[in-house]
Structure 1
Amino acid sequence: MSKEFEIADEFEVDATPQEVWEAVTAGTGGWLWPMEAPEPRVGGKGPFGSKVTAWDPPHHYTNRVEDVEGISEQTLNQLDYTIEPRDEGRRAWVRYVHSGIFVDDWDNQYDGANRHTEFYLHTLRQYLTRFRGRPVTAFATFDGPEASKAPDAFVTVGRALGLADDTAQGASVQVRGPKGQVLDAVVDFRNPYFLGLRTDDALIRFFGRNHWGYMVGMSVHDFAPGADAAADEDMWKGWLNGVFSQP
């Protein structure tokens, strides 16, 4: 059965309204995933078949798509960003609203979307404050193997990195990465559903989608000069598959 939903959040960030605007329109690869930039006008083409329904740079941007992925004529998805200056334009206040209609398994879909929103917006703030002025040079995203659907899979991922179960958000750590490489990182986000690691050159994100019946996922936003997306995926996907192939 279809049902409407709305997920809203707001925050202030140490970035100018223009920097936020660029991040949510043209720079999505630095914190979400790469998307086609929207046509800069109301009625223009937005990402993933959406239509731009509000375009007032750098203050208000909305895109909207109906019949998402051809699932149902009742399906609707809308993303709305409102951006206002703070501290004479040196900082920005942002309100984000994701609304629409979910069909089937509404509670599970809403819970997953709501929790993902918190993590994505946190990553946006990390991108704006920690990697300002640095273009993302490589982006990779992928899922773990079927075994990563297990109820304890996300705990297993944290332990494989060398993190204690109680290693808290904000901790500076050394983690065990691909091919035994030791990485200096900061745990910039951690809860039972998601884990974010920030290195000097990358934002590495882990998604505990096993909580919603899917495989654990990963994404790597790499800002190092000359970074290669295929190489990042090969290394980290190999690592993630290896976590779940141990006897």
Structure 2
Amino acid sequence: MSKEFEVAREYEVAVPPGQVWDAITSGSGGWLWPMEYEPREGGAGPFGSVITTWDPPHRLTVRTEDVGFPTQSLNQIDHTIEPRDGGRGSWVRYVHSGIFTDDWDNQYDGADKHTDFYLHTLREYVTHFAGRPVAFATFDGPGGSASSDAFAAVGPALGLADDTAEGARVRAKGPGGEEFDAVLDYRDPYFVGLRTDDALIRFFGRGRWGAPVGMSVHDFAPGADAKGNETAWKGWLDEVFAG
């Protein structure tokens, strides 16, 4: 049965509104995935959406009437950005709304939990990497990682102790057993985020929602190789969830 939903968040970030606006609309893949916006009301937005409000750097609303998913018939994303601290910082209200047509509880739970991680990654991007060219890659692990308890293997494979908390500096283990320095910038039962001097590395435990473990790598190093990152980290996922 069809039912409306709304996921709303408010947060502050210590960068000007224009910088938040640029991060949301530039479509670089610096914090989410590459997206293009036609800069006007009525213009084309990502994934078949239409821009219903275009008021830089204060308000952006995009609406999709034909979502293309069997479990959803309407999708809308709204960002409201206001200056704080004399324009040096920003207050942001984010609202994701629409209509789920089936599996409402599971769909809402997934949207709700992903929202916190995505918006955290946005804040990490504008704080540490804004404006830097990025090589973006996103991909999934093997089908065996789709079980509800599979994501528990990611922390140990990265060399993270169970009690390693957000904000800790860690020596993580990546592809080929190579170690690298990072900050554990996000951790809960469903997501892990690592921030290095040149990258945001994100892990998505989507088994709760019937999907494999996913990853995205936002690499800001000069000459970064998105395909090389995908090959290396996908191999890492395959090893973690082998058999």
TM-score interval for Structure 1 and Structure 2 normalised by the shorter chain:
over 0.9
Any conservation in 2 of the 1:15–1:92 contact (CA below 8 Å)?
yes
Give the aligned residue type for 2:145: S
Q: 2:241 aligns with which of 234, 241, 244?
A: 244
Partner of 2:131: 133
Computed over aligned residues only, the root mean square deviation of the Cα atoms, in angstroms, reads 1.3
The one-letter code matched in structure 1 to 2:10 is E
- TM-score, reference length from structure 1: 0.95
* Aligned residue number for residue 96 of structure 2: 98
* 1:70 Cα deviation from its structure 2 partner: 6.0
Distance of 1:109 and 1:166 partners within structure 2: 30
The partner residue of 1:182 within 174, 179, 182 is: 179
Q: Which amino acid aligns with 2:60?
A: Y
1:168-225 Cα offsets, whole Å, 9 max, x none, are 1111101110011101011000000100000010000000101111101000000001
Q: Provide the rounded CA distance (Å) in 2 between the counterparts of 1:215 and 1:53.
A: 34
Aligned counterpart for 2:163 among listed residues 162, 166, 172: 166
The residue number in structure 1 matching 2:82 is 84
TM-score (norm 2): 0.97
Alpha-carbon distance in structure 2 between the residues aligned to 1:234 and 1:70: 29
1:44-75, Cα deviation, whole Å (9 max, x unpaired): 11111110000111000100001211648x71
For residue 146 of structure 2, the aligned residue among 145, 149, 156 is 149
Task: Point out 4+ residue stretches in structure 1 off by more than 2 angstroms.
Answer: none
Where structure 1 has 5 or more consecutive residues not aligned to the other structure, the ranges are none
- Residue 29 of structure 2 aligns to a residue whose secondary structure is helix
Q: Do the aligned residues in 2 keep the contact of 1:16 with 1:89 (CA within 8 Å)?
A: yes
Match of 2:40 in 1: 41
Quote the Cα distance in structure 1 between the aligned partners of 2:11 and 2:112.
Answer: 16
Counterpart Cα distance in 2 of 1:192 and 1:139: 24
> 1:10 matched to which residue of 2?
10
Conserved in 2, the CA contact under 8 Å of 1:172 and 1:186? yes
Residue 4 of structure 1 aligns to a residue whose secondary structure is strand
**C-alpha offsets along residues 105-142 of structure 1, whole Å, 9 cap, x if unaligned?**
10000000000000000000000001133222x11101
**Which has the larger displacement, 149-158 or 9-18?**
149-158
Distance 2:236 2:112 in 1: 28
Aligned to 2:112: 114
AA matched with 2:17: P
Look up the SS of the partner of 1:126 in the other structure. Answer: helix
**Deviation readout 1:84-106 (Å, 9 max, x if unpaired):** 01111111110000000012110
- Percent identity reads 70
| Alpha-carbon contact 1:155-1:165 (below 8 Å) kept | no
CA distance in 2 between counterparts of 1:63 and 1:221 reads 24
SS of 1:69's equivalent? coil
Pick one of 216, 227, 231 that aligns with 2:228. 231
Q: How many residues align?
A: 243
